[in-house]
Amino acid sequence: MKIFDLLPSPNRLRRSRTLRIGVLTIALLAVAFASSALANSALGRVDAQIGPFDTTVSVRPDLDGGTKVGLSPLGNVYFDSHNGPLGVTVGLNTVNPQQAEILVNDPNGLNNVSDDIAGEVKQAVMSAAFTALAASLAVGLVLGGILFRRNSRALVTGLLATALTGASLLNATSSLRPESIAEPGFDGVLVYAPGVVGDVESIPDNYDKQLDNLQKFVTNISGLYSAATRLPSEGIDDDSIRVLHVSDLHLNPLAWELISTIVDQFGIDVVADTGDISDYGSQQEAEFYTEQVTDVDAPYLWVKGNHDSTTTQAIMERYDNVTVLDDDITEVAGLTFAGAADPRFTPDKSAQPSDEYAKQMLLESSQRLRNLIDADGEVDVAMVHEPAMAPPLAGSTPLVLAGHTHRRSVEDLGENTTLMICGSTGAAGLRNWESDEPMNMELDVLYFNPDSQGLRAYDSISVSARDQTDISLNRTVIPDDEQPEGAEPPAEEESSND
Protein backbone atom coordinates (compact mmCIF):
# COMPACT_ATOMS: atom_id res chain seq x y z
CA MET A 1 0.00 0.00 0.00
CA LYS A 2 1.31 3.38 -0.96
CA ILE A 3 1.44 6.25 1.51
CA PHE A 4 -0.77 8.32 -0.80
CA ASP A 5 -3.54 5.78 -0.40
CA LEU A 6 -3.79 6.74 3.28
CA LEU A 7 -4.52 10.40 2.49
CA PRO A 8 -8.13 11.55 1.89
CA SER A 9 -9.03 12.19 -1.68
CA PRO A 10 -9.49 15.81 -2.91
CA ASN A 11 -13.25 15.22 -3.25
CA ARG A 12 -13.45 14.00 0.34
CA LEU A 13 -11.48 17.04 1.52
CA ARG A 14 -13.82 19.37 -0.38
CA ARG A 15 -16.89 17.65 1.10
CA SER A 16 -15.43 17.88 4.60
CA ARG A 17 -14.60 21.56 4.16
CA THR A 18 -18.05 22.30 2.79
CA LEU A 19 -19.64 20.49 5.75
CA ARG A 20 -17.57 22.48 8.23
CA ILE A 21 -18.47 25.75 6.53
CA GLY A 22 -22.16 24.79 6.53
CA VAL A 23 -22.15 23.87 10.21
CA LEU A 24 -20.27 27.07 11.07
CA THR A 25 -22.72 29.17 9.06
CA ILE A 26 -25.70 27.59 10.81
CA ALA A 27 -24.02 28.11 14.19
CA LEU A 28 -23.28 31.76 13.42
CA LEU A 29 -26.86 32.38 12.30
CA ALA A 30 -28.29 30.60 15.35
CA VAL A 31 -26.15 32.62 17.77
CA ALA A 32 -26.97 35.82 15.87
CA PHE A 33 -30.68 35.05 16.03
CA ALA A 34 -30.45 34.33 19.77
CA SER A 35 -28.45 37.52 20.30
CA SER A 36 -31.03 39.59 18.45
CA ALA A 37 -33.92 38.05 20.40
CA LEU A 38 -32.13 38.46 23.74
CA ALA A 39 -31.17 42.05 23.03
CA ASN A 40 -34.69 43.01 22.00
CA SER A 41 -36.27 41.22 24.95
CA ALA A 42 -33.99 42.60 27.64
CA LEU A 43 -32.30 45.77 26.38
CA GLY A 44 -34.31 47.36 23.56
CA ARG A 45 -36.11 49.94 25.70
CA VAL A 46 -35.96 53.64 26.54
CA ASP A 47 -37.71 55.96 28.98
CA ALA A 48 -39.63 58.77 27.30
CA GLN A 49 -42.05 61.59 28.09
CA ILE A 50 -45.16 61.37 25.89
CA GLY A 51 -47.71 64.05 26.66
CA PRO A 52 -48.54 63.84 30.39
CA PHE A 53 -47.11 60.32 30.71
CA ASP A 54 -43.73 59.05 31.82
CA THR A 55 -43.39 55.95 29.66
CA THR A 56 -41.08 53.08 28.87
CA VAL A 57 -41.00 52.27 25.14
CA SER A 58 -39.52 48.93 24.17
CA VAL A 59 -39.05 46.73 21.11
CA ARG A 60 -39.84 43.06 21.74
CA PRO A 61 -39.88 39.81 19.72
CA ASP A 62 -43.44 39.18 18.58
CA LEU A 63 -44.33 37.19 15.47
CA ASP A 64 -47.65 39.04 15.18
CA GLY A 65 -46.11 42.50 15.55
CA GLY A 66 -48.39 45.31 16.67
CA THR A 67 -48.24 47.79 19.54
CA LYS A 68 -49.24 47.14 23.15
CA VAL A 69 -49.97 50.04 25.51
CA GLY A 70 -49.76 48.75 29.08
CA LEU A 71 -52.03 50.50 31.59
CA SER A 72 -50.94 48.49 34.60
CA PRO A 73 -52.84 47.37 36.55
CA LEU A 74 -55.96 48.20 34.51
CA GLY A 75 -55.02 46.06 31.53
CA ASN A 76 -53.64 46.58 28.02
CA VAL A 77 -54.69 48.27 24.80
CA TYR A 78 -53.54 46.69 21.53
CA PHE A 79 -53.13 48.21 18.07
CA ASP A 80 -52.49 46.17 14.92
CA SER A 81 -49.96 48.80 13.87
CA HIS A 82 -47.44 46.70 11.88
CA ASN A 83 -46.29 43.19 11.04
CA GLY A 84 -43.85 41.06 13.03
CA PRO A 85 -41.44 39.68 14.02
CA LEU A 86 -41.01 42.70 16.31
CA GLY A 87 -43.66 44.39 18.41
CA VAL A 88 -43.64 47.68 20.31
CA THR A 89 -44.65 48.00 23.96
CA VAL A 90 -45.47 51.33 25.58
CA GLY A 91 -45.71 51.13 29.36
CA LEU A 92 -47.37 54.06 31.12
CA ASN A 93 -45.45 54.43 34.37
CA THR A 94 -46.87 57.63 35.87
CA VAL A 95 -49.10 60.51 34.82
CA ASN A 96 -48.55 64.18 35.62
CA PRO A 97 -51.85 65.23 37.32
CA GLN A 98 -51.52 68.91 36.36
CA GLN A 99 -50.87 68.11 32.72
CA ALA A 100 -53.71 65.58 32.72
CA GLU A 101 -56.13 68.21 34.03
CA ILE A 102 -55.07 70.62 31.29
CA LEU A 103 -55.39 67.90 28.69
CA VAL A 104 -58.91 66.91 29.76
CA ASN A 105 -60.44 70.30 30.58
CA ASP A 106 -58.87 72.62 28.00
CA PRO A 107 -59.92 72.19 24.34
CA ASN A 108 -56.39 73.22 23.39
CA GLY A 109 -54.91 71.26 26.25
CA LEU A 110 -52.93 68.88 24.10
CA ASN A 111 -51.06 71.79 22.55
CA ASN A 112 -50.35 73.20 26.01
CA VAL A 113 -48.99 69.88 27.23
CA SER A 114 -47.05 68.98 24.10
CA ASP A 115 -46.53 70.79 20.83
CA ASP A 116 -46.04 67.57 18.93
CA ILE A 117 -47.24 64.43 20.70
CA ALA A 118 -47.01 62.48 17.44
CA GLY A 119 -43.39 63.60 17.19
CA GLU A 120 -42.77 62.47 20.77
CA VAL A 121 -44.15 59.02 19.98
CA LYS A 122 -42.07 58.80 16.81
CA GLN A 123 -38.92 59.95 18.63
CA ALA A 124 -39.45 57.45 21.45
CA VAL A 125 -39.95 54.55 19.04
CA MET A 126 -36.90 55.55 17.02
CA SER A 127 -34.80 55.76 20.18
CA ALA A 128 -35.98 52.31 21.19
CA ALA A 129 -35.15 51.01 17.71
CA PHE A 130 -31.61 52.43 17.78
CA THR A 131 -31.16 51.04 21.28
CA ALA A 132 -32.26 47.62 20.00
CA LEU A 133 -29.75 47.80 17.15
CA ALA A 134 -26.90 48.77 19.47
CA ALA A 135 -27.92 46.09 21.97
CA SER A 136 -28.02 43.45 19.20
CA LEU A 137 -24.49 44.33 18.14
CA ALA A 138 -23.20 44.26 21.71
CA VAL A 139 -24.91 40.99 22.66
CA GLY A 140 -23.81 39.38 19.39
CA LEU A 141 -20.18 40.36 20.01
CA VAL A 142 -20.27 39.03 23.59
CA LEU A 143 -22.02 35.73 22.79
CA GLY A 144 -19.94 35.21 19.66
CA GLY A 145 -16.74 35.81 21.59
CA ILE A 146 -17.76 33.39 24.35
CA LEU A 147 -18.94 30.60 22.05
CA PHE A 148 -16.52 30.84 19.13
CA ARG A 149 -13.48 32.34 20.87
CA ARG A 150 -12.37 34.14 17.73
CA ASN A 151 -12.64 37.89 17.24
CA SER A 152 -13.48 37.51 13.57
CA ARG A 153 -16.39 35.17 14.27
CA ALA A 154 -17.59 37.32 17.19
CA LEU A 155 -17.66 40.30 14.83
CA VAL A 156 -19.62 38.33 12.23
CA THR A 157 -22.11 37.26 14.92
CA GLY A 158 -22.57 40.84 16.11
CA LEU A 159 -23.08 42.15 12.57
CA LEU A 160 -25.53 39.36 11.74
CA ALA A 161 -27.53 40.04 14.92
CA THR A 162 -27.65 43.74 14.05
CA ALA A 163 -28.73 42.90 10.49
CA LEU A 164 -31.52 40.63 11.73
CA THR A 165 -32.84 43.33 14.04
CA GLY A 166 -32.51 45.93 11.31
CA ALA A 167 -34.41 43.77 8.82
CA SER A 168 -37.18 43.23 11.36
CA LEU A 169 -37.43 46.97 12.03
CA LEU A 170 -37.48 47.68 8.28
CA ASN A 171 -40.31 45.17 7.84
CA ALA A 172 -42.25 46.84 10.65
CA THR A 173 -41.76 50.26 9.07
CA SER A 174 -42.81 49.10 5.61
CA SER A 175 -45.99 47.49 6.96
CA LEU A 176 -46.98 50.44 9.20
CA ARG A 177 -50.76 50.93 9.52
CA PRO A 178 -51.45 54.38 11.08
CA GLU A 179 -55.22 53.81 10.87
CA SER A 180 -54.97 51.09 13.52
CA ILE A 181 -55.25 53.77 16.24
CA ALA A 182 -58.98 53.78 15.42
CA GLU A 183 -59.41 50.04 16.03
CA PRO A 184 -57.96 49.10 19.42
CA GLY A 185 -58.30 45.81 21.27
CA PHE A 186 -58.43 45.43 25.05
CA ASP A 187 -57.74 43.03 27.88
CA GLY A 188 -58.00 43.24 31.67
CA VAL A 189 -60.49 45.64 33.24
CA LEU A 190 -60.34 47.78 30.10
CA VAL A 191 -62.44 45.15 28.31
CA TYR A 192 -65.38 46.77 30.12
CA ALA A 193 -64.40 50.33 29.16
CA PRO A 194 -63.64 50.46 25.42
CA GLY A 195 -64.95 54.04 25.39
CA VAL A 196 -61.54 55.03 26.72
CA VAL A 197 -60.41 55.72 23.15
CA GLY A 198 -63.68 57.33 22.06
CA ASP A 199 -66.20 56.37 19.40
CA VAL A 200 -64.81 56.15 15.88
CA GLU A 201 -67.36 56.21 13.07
CA SER A 202 -65.00 55.46 10.23
CA ILE A 203 -61.38 54.60 9.62
CA PRO A 204 -59.42 57.84 9.11
CA ASP A 205 -57.70 58.29 5.78
CA ASN A 206 -55.27 61.18 6.29
CA TYR A 207 -52.62 62.32 8.73
CA ASP A 208 -54.75 64.95 10.47
CA LYS A 209 -57.39 62.39 11.41
CA GLN A 210 -54.70 59.97 12.56
CA LEU A 211 -53.38 62.65 14.89
CA ASP A 212 -56.88 63.45 16.14
CA ASN A 213 -57.38 59.83 17.14
CA LEU A 214 -54.00 59.75 18.85
CA GLN A 215 -54.94 62.91 20.74
CA LYS A 216 -58.30 61.42 21.71
CA PHE A 217 -56.62 58.27 23.02
CA VAL A 218 -54.11 60.22 25.13
CA THR A 219 -56.79 62.62 26.39
CA ASN A 220 -59.22 59.91 27.51
CA ILE A 221 -56.51 57.79 29.12
CA SER A 222 -55.43 60.92 31.00
CA GLY A 223 -58.99 61.48 32.19
CA LEU A 224 -59.28 57.92 33.47
CA TYR A 225 -56.02 58.18 35.39
CA SER A 226 -56.84 61.65 36.67
CA ALA A 227 -60.20 60.52 38.09
CA ALA A 228 -58.70 57.45 39.71
CA THR A 229 -55.90 59.40 41.40
CA ARG A 230 -57.87 62.54 42.26
CA LEU A 231 -61.02 61.33 44.00
CA PRO A 232 -59.59 59.55 47.06
CA SER A 233 -57.53 62.56 48.14
CA GLU A 234 -60.47 64.98 48.29
CA GLY A 235 -61.93 65.17 51.79
CA ILE A 236 -59.77 62.32 53.07
CA ASP A 237 -56.63 62.89 55.11
CA ASP A 238 -53.46 61.15 54.01
CA ASP A 239 -53.25 59.31 57.34
CA SER A 240 -56.67 57.66 56.97
CA ILE A 241 -56.73 53.88 57.28
CA ARG A 242 -58.13 52.58 53.99
CA VAL A 243 -60.05 49.33 53.89
CA LEU A 244 -61.31 47.80 50.63
CA HIS A 245 -64.56 45.86 51.15
CA VAL A 246 -65.19 43.20 48.50
CA SER A 247 -67.57 40.25 48.40
CA ASP A 248 -69.06 37.54 46.19
CA LEU A 249 -66.32 37.24 43.58
CA HIS A 250 -67.90 34.00 42.27
CA LEU A 251 -64.90 32.97 40.14
CA ASN A 252 -64.90 36.11 38.00
CA PRO A 253 -61.24 36.48 36.91
CA LEU A 254 -61.67 40.21 36.23
CA ALA A 255 -62.49 40.71 39.91
CA TRP A 256 -58.85 40.13 40.82
CA GLU A 257 -57.67 42.71 38.31
CA LEU A 258 -60.20 45.22 39.62
CA ILE A 259 -59.21 44.57 43.24
CA SER A 260 -55.51 44.99 42.42
CA THR A 261 -56.30 48.20 40.55
CA ILE A 262 -58.13 49.74 43.50
CA VAL A 263 -55.50 48.56 46.00
CA ASP A 264 -52.82 50.27 43.94
CA GLN A 265 -54.68 53.45 42.97
CA PHE A 266 -56.27 54.12 46.37
CA GLY A 267 -53.39 53.10 48.64
CA ILE A 268 -55.42 50.37 50.37
CA ASP A 269 -54.10 49.18 53.75
CA VAL A 270 -56.20 46.00 54.05
CA VAL A 271 -58.81 44.11 51.97
CA ALA A 272 -61.88 42.72 53.74
CA ASP A 273 -63.61 39.95 51.72
CA THR A 274 -66.97 38.80 53.06
CA GLY A 275 -67.11 35.50 51.23
CA ASP A 276 -68.45 33.52 48.26
CA ILE A 277 -65.16 33.54 46.42
CA SER A 278 -66.27 30.38 44.60
CA ASP A 279 -69.49 28.91 43.13
CA TYR A 280 -69.53 25.22 44.02
CA GLY A 281 -66.73 25.04 46.57
CA SER A 282 -64.77 22.39 44.68
CA GLN A 283 -61.07 21.85 45.14
CA GLN A 284 -60.46 22.52 41.45
CA GLU A 285 -62.20 25.89 41.70
CA ALA A 286 -60.27 26.86 44.79
CA GLU A 287 -56.83 25.84 43.54
CA PHE A 288 -57.28 27.42 40.11
CA TYR A 289 -58.97 30.66 41.11
CA THR A 290 -57.88 31.65 44.60
CA GLU A 291 -54.13 31.63 43.93
CA GLN A 292 -54.51 35.03 42.28
CA VAL A 293 -55.07 36.50 45.74
CA THR A 294 -51.29 36.43 46.14
CA ASP A 295 -51.07 39.18 43.51
CA VAL A 296 -53.05 41.56 45.74
CA ASP A 297 -50.53 43.90 47.34
CA ALA A 298 -52.25 44.23 50.73
CA PRO A 299 -53.20 42.03 53.71
CA TYR A 300 -56.33 40.08 52.79
CA LEU A 301 -58.98 39.18 55.39
CA TRP A 302 -61.57 36.59 54.38
CA VAL A 303 -64.64 34.89 55.83
CA LYS A 304 -66.28 31.85 54.29
CA GLY A 305 -69.56 32.30 52.39
CA ASN A 306 -72.32 29.80 51.74
CA HIS A 307 -70.83 28.93 48.32
CA ASP A 308 -67.41 28.28 49.88
CA SER A 309 -66.59 24.85 51.26
CA THR A 310 -64.22 23.85 54.03
CA THR A 311 -61.86 22.87 51.21
CA THR A 312 -62.04 26.43 49.90
CA GLN A 313 -61.25 27.70 53.38
CA ALA A 314 -58.30 25.32 53.82
CA ILE A 315 -56.78 26.47 50.51
CA MET A 316 -57.26 30.14 51.40
CA GLU A 317 -55.38 29.50 54.64
CA ARG A 318 -52.30 28.48 52.62
CA TYR A 319 -51.58 31.97 51.32
CA ASP A 320 -49.20 34.18 53.26
CA ASN A 321 -51.10 37.42 52.69
CA VAL A 322 -54.51 35.91 53.64
CA THR A 323 -55.98 35.75 57.14
CA VAL A 324 -59.09 33.56 57.41
CA LEU A 325 -61.44 34.71 60.16
CA ASP A 326 -63.47 31.82 61.58
CA ASP A 327 -64.55 32.92 65.05
CA ASP A 328 -61.29 34.86 65.20
CA ILE A 329 -60.11 38.38 66.04
CA THR A 330 -57.05 40.02 64.47
CA GLU A 331 -55.48 43.47 64.27
CA VAL A 332 -54.37 44.79 60.89
CA ALA A 333 -53.29 48.30 59.89
CA GLY A 334 -54.38 49.77 63.23
CA LEU A 335 -57.90 48.29 63.17
CA THR A 336 -59.26 45.29 65.05
CA PHE A 337 -61.34 42.89 62.94
CA ALA A 338 -63.53 39.98 64.02
CA GLY A 339 -65.11 37.48 61.67
CA ALA A 340 -67.17 34.32 61.48
CA ALA A 341 -67.74 31.86 58.65
CA ASP A 342 -71.15 31.24 57.17
CA PRO A 343 -72.06 27.88 58.76
CA ARG A 344 -73.96 26.77 55.68
CA PHE A 345 -72.63 25.21 52.48
CA THR A 346 -75.43 25.57 49.95
CA PRO A 347 -74.12 25.80 46.38
CA ASP A 348 -76.94 23.54 45.16
CA LYS A 349 -80.16 25.57 45.15
CA SER A 350 -82.22 22.42 44.86
CA ALA A 351 -80.91 21.03 48.15
CA GLN A 352 -81.35 23.80 50.72
CA PRO A 353 -81.89 23.36 54.47
CA SER A 354 -85.24 24.46 55.86
CA ASP A 355 -85.66 28.14 56.63
CA GLU A 356 -85.93 27.50 60.36
CA TYR A 357 -82.84 25.32 60.46
CA ALA A 358 -80.84 27.82 58.37
CA LYS A 359 -81.87 30.69 60.63
CA GLN A 360 -80.88 28.68 63.69
CA MET A 361 -77.43 27.93 62.21
CA LEU A 362 -76.85 31.59 61.37
CA LEU A 363 -78.06 32.77 64.78
CA GLU A 364 -75.81 30.36 66.66
CA SER A 365 -72.77 31.35 64.59
CA SER A 366 -73.51 35.04 65.08
CA GLN A 367 -73.96 34.58 68.82
CA ARG A 368 -70.59 32.83 69.09
CA LEU A 369 -68.99 35.78 67.35
CA ARG A 370 -70.81 38.19 69.68
CA ASN A 371 -69.54 36.31 72.73
CA LEU A 372 -66.01 36.40 71.32
CA ILE A 373 -66.19 40.16 70.74
CA ASP A 374 -67.63 40.81 74.21
CA ALA A 375 -64.83 38.77 75.78
CA ASP A 376 -62.16 40.66 73.80
CA GLY A 377 -63.52 44.03 74.79
CA GLU A 378 -63.17 46.13 71.62
CA VAL A 379 -63.55 45.39 67.90
CA ASP A 380 -63.65 48.05 65.18
CA VAL A 381 -65.08 45.94 62.32
CA ALA A 382 -66.98 42.65 62.26
CA MET A 383 -67.13 40.55 59.08
CA VAL A 384 -69.87 38.06 58.16
CA HIS A 385 -71.22 36.81 54.85
CA GLU A 386 -74.95 36.61 55.47
CA PRO A 387 -76.56 39.92 56.57
CA ALA A 388 -78.93 37.90 58.80
CA MET A 389 -75.93 37.31 61.07
CA ALA A 390 -75.52 41.05 61.69
CA PRO A 391 -78.40 42.02 64.09
CA PRO A 392 -77.04 40.02 67.07
CA LEU A 393 -73.81 42.01 66.73
CA ALA A 394 -75.52 45.38 67.32
CA GLY A 395 -73.84 47.22 70.18
CA SER A 396 -70.71 45.06 70.12
CA THR A 397 -68.97 46.86 67.24
CA PRO A 398 -69.57 50.11 65.36
CA LEU A 399 -69.44 48.46 61.90
CA VAL A 400 -70.50 45.12 60.42
CA LEU A 401 -69.49 44.20 56.85
CA ALA A 402 -71.50 41.62 54.89
CA GLY A 403 -72.27 40.44 51.36
CA HIS A 404 -74.44 37.63 49.93
CA THR A 405 -77.33 39.72 48.54
CA HIS A 406 -75.37 41.08 45.54
CA ARG A 407 -76.97 44.44 46.32
CA ARG A 408 -75.13 47.32 47.98
CA SER A 409 -76.88 48.83 50.99
CA VAL A 410 -76.21 50.57 54.31
CA GLU A 411 -78.44 49.93 57.33
CA ASP A 412 -78.61 51.21 60.89
CA LEU A 413 -78.77 48.24 63.27
CA GLY A 414 -79.23 50.47 66.31
CA GLU A 415 -76.98 50.68 69.35
CA ASN A 416 -74.47 52.72 67.31
CA THR A 417 -73.83 49.88 64.86
CA THR A 418 -73.96 50.20 61.07
CA LEU A 419 -74.33 47.32 58.61
CA MET A 420 -72.67 47.81 55.22
CA ILE A 421 -73.53 45.24 52.54
CA CYS A 422 -71.25 45.12 49.51
CA GLY A 423 -72.58 44.28 46.07
CA SER A 424 -71.00 41.47 44.08
CA THR A 425 -67.41 42.35 43.20
CA GLY A 426 -67.52 39.52 40.66
CA ALA A 427 -70.86 40.74 39.21
CA ALA A 428 -72.34 37.37 40.28
CA GLY A 429 -69.75 35.52 38.19
CA LEU A 430 -70.67 33.48 35.12
CA ARG A 431 -74.39 33.64 35.89
CA ASN A 432 -74.23 37.36 35.04
CA TRP A 433 -73.84 36.46 31.38
CA GLU A 434 -77.13 34.57 31.45
CA SER A 435 -79.09 37.45 32.95
CA ASP A 436 -81.15 39.97 31.02
CA GLU A 437 -80.18 42.58 33.62
CA PRO A 438 -76.39 42.43 33.99
CA MET A 439 -74.87 43.45 37.32
CA ASN A 440 -72.03 45.84 37.92
CA MET A 441 -68.82 44.85 39.65
CA GLU A 442 -69.07 46.62 43.01
CA LEU A 443 -66.69 47.31 45.87
CA ASP A 444 -66.27 49.96 48.57
CA VAL A 445 -63.30 51.89 49.95
CA LEU A 446 -63.74 52.73 53.65
CA TYR A 447 -61.75 55.52 55.31
CA PHE A 448 -61.10 55.26 59.07
CA ASN A 449 -59.74 57.80 61.53
CA PRO A 450 -56.38 56.42 62.74
CA ASP A 451 -56.89 57.90 66.24
CA SER A 452 -60.52 56.97 66.99
CA GLN A 453 -60.74 54.06 64.50
CA GLY A 454 -64.10 55.51 63.46
CA LEU A 455 -65.43 55.48 59.91
CA ARG A 456 -64.92 58.89 58.27
CA ALA A 457 -66.23 58.28 54.75
CA TYR A 458 -66.58 55.64 52.07
CA ASP A 459 -66.35 55.47 48.30
CA SER A 460 -68.81 53.25 46.43
CA ILE A 461 -67.23 52.04 43.20
CA SER A 462 -69.11 50.37 40.35
CA VAL A 463 -67.53 49.07 37.16
CA SER A 464 -69.92 48.10 34.42
CA ALA A 465 -69.90 44.57 33.06
CA ARG A 466 -70.68 43.09 29.64
CA ASP A 467 -71.61 45.74 27.09
CA GLN A 468 -71.75 48.81 29.35
CA THR A 469 -68.87 51.27 29.42
CA ASP A 470 -69.04 53.51 32.53
CA ILE A 471 -67.18 53.55 35.82
CA SER A 472 -68.67 55.42 38.78
CA LEU A 473 -67.11 56.53 42.06
CA ASN A 474 -69.43 58.06 44.67
CA ARG A 475 -68.22 59.37 48.01
CA THR A 476 -70.34 59.43 51.17
CA VAL A 477 -69.03 61.46 54.11
CA ILE A 478 -70.15 60.55 57.63
CA PRO A 479 -71.96 63.57 59.18
CA ASP A 480 -70.16 65.39 61.96
CA ASP A 481 -72.67 64.39 64.62
CA GLU A 482 -72.18 60.71 63.74
CA GLN A 483 -68.39 60.84 63.99
CA PRO A 484 -66.97 58.89 66.94
CA GLU A 485 -65.56 60.93 69.79
CA GLY A 486 -62.17 62.40 68.91
CA ALA A 487 -62.64 62.06 65.13
CA GLU A 488 -61.84 64.94 62.80
CA PRO A 489 -64.74 65.68 60.41
CA PRO A 490 -63.86 65.17 56.74
CA ALA A 491 -64.70 67.51 53.89
CA GLU A 492 -67.79 67.66 51.71
CA GLU A 493 -69.26 64.84 49.62
CA GLU A 494 -67.79 64.23 46.19
CA SER A 495 -68.71 62.04 43.26
CA SER A 496 -67.15 61.25 39.92
CA ASN A 497 -68.36 59.31 36.91
CA ASP A 498 -66.25 58.20 33.97
Give the pLDDT confidence of 197-247 residue by residue, as tens digits: 333 333 234 434 444 544 454 544 444 445 545 544 444 677 889 999 999
Assess if residue 400 is contained within a domain: yes
Per mean pLDDT, which range of 51-55, 120-124, 474-478, 485-489 is the poorest?
Answer: 485-489
pLDDT higher than 90, residue 385: yes
pLDDT higher than 50, residue 471: yes
Instruction: Please tell me the predicted confidence (pLDDT) of residue 496.
Output: 43
pLDDT higher than 70, residue 66: yes
pLDDT higher than 70, residue 184: no
Instruction: Please tell me the predicted confidence (pLDDT) of residue 213.
Output: 47
pLDDT higher than 90, residue 417: yes
Domains held by the chain: number: 2
Q: Are 192 and 171 in contact (CB under 8 A)?
A: no
- Please check whether residues 191 and 303 belong to one and the same domain: no
pLDDT higher than 50, residue 467: no
- Please check whether residues 175 and 262 belong to one and the same domain: no
Assess if residue 417 is contained within a domain: yes
SS3 content of the chain, % helix, strand, coil (to 5): 45, 20, 35
Beta-sheet pairing, 86-95 with 53-61: antiparallel
Instruction: Please tell me the predicted confidence (pLDDT) of residue 55.
Output: 81
pLDDT higher than 80, residue 178: no
Domain CATH number, residue 375: 3.60.21.10
Assess if residue 6 is contained within a domain: no
CA pair distance 387, 401, nearest whole angstrom? 8
Residue 152: CB atoms within 10 A of its CB come to 9
Residue 496: CB atoms within 10 A of its CB come to 16
- Please check whether residues 286 and 348 belong to one and the same domain: yes
- Please check whether residues 41 and 131 belong to one and the same domain: yes
**Largest interatomic CA distance in the chain:** 117
Q: Are 407 and 237 in contact (CB under 8 A)?
A: no
Instruction: Please tell me the predicted confidence (pLDDT) of residue 305.
Output: 92
Average pLDDT in the 459-483 region?
69
**Strand partners of residue 185:** 78
**Strand partners of residue 116:** none
Assess if residue 232 is contained within a domain: no
Beta-sheet pairing, 300-302 with 270-273: parallel
Q: pLDDT tier at 258 (50, 70, 90 boundaries)?
A: confident
- Please check whether residues 147 and 82 belong to one and the same domain: yes
pLDDT higher than 50, residue 18: yes
- Please check whether residues 353 and 219 belong to one and the same domain: no
Instruction: Please tell me the predicted confidence (pLDDT) of residue 204.
Output: 33
Residue 80: CB atoms within 10 A of its CB come to 15
Q: pLDDT tier at 252 (50, 70, 90 boundaries)?
A: confident
Assess if residue 132 is contained within a domain: yes
pTM, full prediction: 0.55
CA separation, residue 272 to residues 177, 303, 342 (Å): 46, 9, 15
Q: Are 35 and 146 in contact (CB under 8 A)?
A: no
Q: Cα-flanking dihedrals φ and ψ of residue 366, to 5°?
A: -65, -40
Tens-digit pLDDT profile for residues 391-415: 999 999 999 999 999 999 999 999 9
CA pair distance 98, 205, nearest whole angstrom? 33
**Strand partners of residue 48:** 55
Q: Are 259 and 296 in contact (CB under 8 A)?
A: yes
Domain boundary among 159, 193, 225: 225
246: left (phi over 0), alpha (psi -120 to 50) or beta: beta
Tell me which of 200 and 137 has the higher pLDDT.
137
- Please check whether residues 121 and 247 belong to one and the same domain: no
Tens-digit pLDDT profile for residues 275-328: 999 888 888 888 888 989 999 999 999 999 999 999 999 999 999 999 999 999
pLDDT higher than 80, residue 368: yes
Q: pLDDT tier at 365 (50, 70, 90 boundaries)?
A: very high
* C-alpha dihedral sign at 182, 187, 190, 193: positive
Tell me which of 164 and 103 has the higher pLDDT.
164
**Strand partners of residue 383:** 339, 401
CA pair distance 467, 304, nearest whole angstrom? 31
- Please check whether residues 324 and 179 belong to one and the same domain: no
pLDDT higher than 60, residue 488: no
- Please check whether residues 216 and 315 belong to one and the same domain: no
> In whole angstroms, how large is the CA radius of gyration of the chain?
30
Instruction: Please tell me the predicted confidence (pLDDT) of residue 89.
Output: 85
CA pair distance 245, 442, nearest whole angstrom? 9
Cβ density class 155-177: b for 16+ within 10 Å, e for less? ebbbbbbbbbbeebbeebeeeee
Instruction: Please tell me the predicted confidence (pLDDT) of residue 152.
Output: 84
Average pLDDT in the 340-352 region?
74
Concatenating the DSSP letter of every residue in 120-149 gives: HHHHHHHHHHHHHHHHHHHHHHHHHHHHH-
Average pLDDT in the 77-83 region?
79
Q: pLDDT tier at 14 (50, 70, 90 boundaries)?
A: low
Per mean pLDDT, which range of 108-117, 244-253, 423-432 is the poorest?
Answer: 108-117
- Please check whether residues 328 and 372 belong to one and the same domain: yes
Instruction: Please tell me the predicted confidence (pLDDT) of residue 129.
Output: 84
C-alpha closest to that of 60 among 165, 161, 167: 165
Assess if residue 438 is contained within a domain: yes
Residue 451: CB atoms within 10 A of its CB come to 12
Instruction: Please tell me the predicted confidence (pLDDT) of residue 71.
Output: 64
**Sheet of 328-332, strands arranged across:** 328-332, 335-339, 381-383, 399-402, 417-421, 409-414
Average pLDDT, the chain: 76
Q: Name the residue range of residue 84's domain.
A: 19-225
C-alpha closest to that of 339 among 376, 307, 381: 381
- Please check whether residues 154 and 242 belong to one and the same domain: no
- Please check whether residues 200 and 250 belong to one and the same domain: no
Which among 9-23, 37-51, 429-443 has the top mean pLDDT?
Answer: 37-51
